[in-house]
Amino acid sequence: MNHADEYRAKLVTPEEAVRVVRPGDWVEYGQFAVQTVALDRALAARRDELLDVKIRATTRAVGIPETVKADPTAEHFAYHNLHFSGHDRKAHDQGLCWFIPILYHEVPRYYRENCEVDVAMLPVAPMDRNGCFNFSLSNSHARAICDRAKTLIVEVNPNLPVCLGGREESVHLSEVDLIVESDWSVPELPSAKPSEVDRTIASLIVGELRDGSCIQLGIGGMPNAVGSMIAQSDLKNLGIHTEMFCDSMMEMALAGRVTGSCKTTDRGKIAFTFCLGSRACYDFIDRNPLCASYPVDYTNDPFVIARNDNFIAINNCVEIDLFGQVCSESSGTRHISGTGGQVDFTLGAYRSKGGKAFLCLSSTFEKNGRVVSRIKPLLTEGAIVTDPRALVSCVVTEYGIVNLKGKSTWERAEALISIAHPDFRDELVLEAEKMGIWRRSNRVRGESAAVVAFHR
């Protein structure tokens, strides 16, 4: 049987395909911009026939699943996620989504060793002449899902770009049980507009870069500002090794800043594991031989990251306490996003020769009409520790950059207070004294040592 005949033999409607799902099954939906739509809709229609079907996804960019909307009691469909999008956060706030804690670079192993996958439903680009379906904008852990799945259904969408490998970027027709065809628009991630504070922080970080640096950027206005500033700079021969490829990285490449000529791994190529951005970004990455799609246990492996000299990792966080503990995924007990690859790149960048890992935050935010410091004596009650204090190196606010590596508890407190908003520094000193992480000798003429340190 040739590929065309085998394809036709496996082609079914979404309604026929979801008949394989049984009560109690674990069902996989995909990741980021590449998650099932037609199959989700068809499975939702089976609500009254099913109980305790457990759905798992990662950062759903295509809206709250229809299965979740159809079952406000979560008795028929229980939705789980490894890293929240805004849609997932909304479902979580309604008690309809459960978070799965991860270290992102370990996720393929979780699937191969720990996670049950009864039915995998993965969107893919159309089959090529060799019988392969490309995982498109999300390589991540798709291959590991296929390896584990008892039944594999692909949802073929002609709108999905083809992302060249790398490795593990596709699945062969012979491994697929059922094929469904669909035609939905690929979700785009609106570019977060940087604030003035974002731009100030970005300018501090760009000043730390050098020709030949290898870059990773996280999600948000501040990383976008960094990418745009790099595109407008005179930096040369930069490399990109990242988990997420986004519009600001495309800007860097189109401006001629990125050659990858100084990289040790994937020299001359942009290595990534998923892409979220605009249609222009998707068009840039489509069949682009300068871009290499890899599974996340490669892109986010700290030891692979560290092989590239002068690696610069840039990520956001929610708050940090005076001990140096960083929360990047929750507001108290309310879950916002996830660990993602922040730990992976913070560790990997520091191990890189000349590398630096920047954790960035505005010094304050507004809550209920009042200004609140993001640098706190202790993390908010219930806040998740994303980065333990021993892992954290460079912390950046609009007031400067401090490096916590090798510093004692009182030195850490002094450094962090020096980049806190001036209105909160004396209060933070008092709290540090109460916690026993402040030296009285640091006070100079009644002024907090933090203020003195900032002006040195």
Closest CA to 97 of 122, 116, 123, 77: 77
User: Which one from 66, 155, 168, 243 is the annotated catalytic residue?
Assistant: 243
What letter does residue 24 receive in the DSSP assignment? T
- Token readout for 327 is 């929360």
Residue 251 bears catalytic tag:
no
The dihedrals phi and psi of 383, each to the nearest 5 degrees, come to: -65, 145
Q: Which residue, chain included where needed, has tokens 């991630």?
A: 189
* Orientation angle between helical segments 196-206 and 221-231, nearest 10 degrees: 50
Type of residue found at 102: I
Residues 6+ apart with CB under 8 A from 87: 60, 61, 62, 63, 64
Question: Shortest CA distance to 297 belongs to which of 262, 328, 341?
Answer: 341
Exposed, middle or buried, 303 (CB in 10 Å: 0-12/13-18/19+)? exposed
- The CA distance from 257 to 236, in Å, is 5
- Looking at residue 51, the DSSP 8-state letter turns out to be S
CA 313 to centroid of chain Cα atoms: 12
With contact defined as beta carbons under 8 Å apart, do 345 and 305 qualify?
yes
Dist CA 137 CA 83 (whole Å): 16
CA nearest neighbour of 127 among 151, 157, 163: 157
Distance of alpha carbon 392 from alpha carbon 353, whole angstroms? 17
Which DSSP letter does residue 359 get? E
Token digits of residue 404 = 């916590």
**Do the beta carbons of residue 197 and residue 362 sit within 8 Å?**
yes
Task: Give me the DSSP letters along 178-229.
Answer: EEEE---PPP--PPPPP-HHHHHHHHHHHTT--TT-EEEE-SSHHHHHHHHH
The answer to whether 212 and 262 have CB atoms below 8 angstroms apart is: yes
Tokens describing residue 271: 């290595």
Catalytic residues: 243
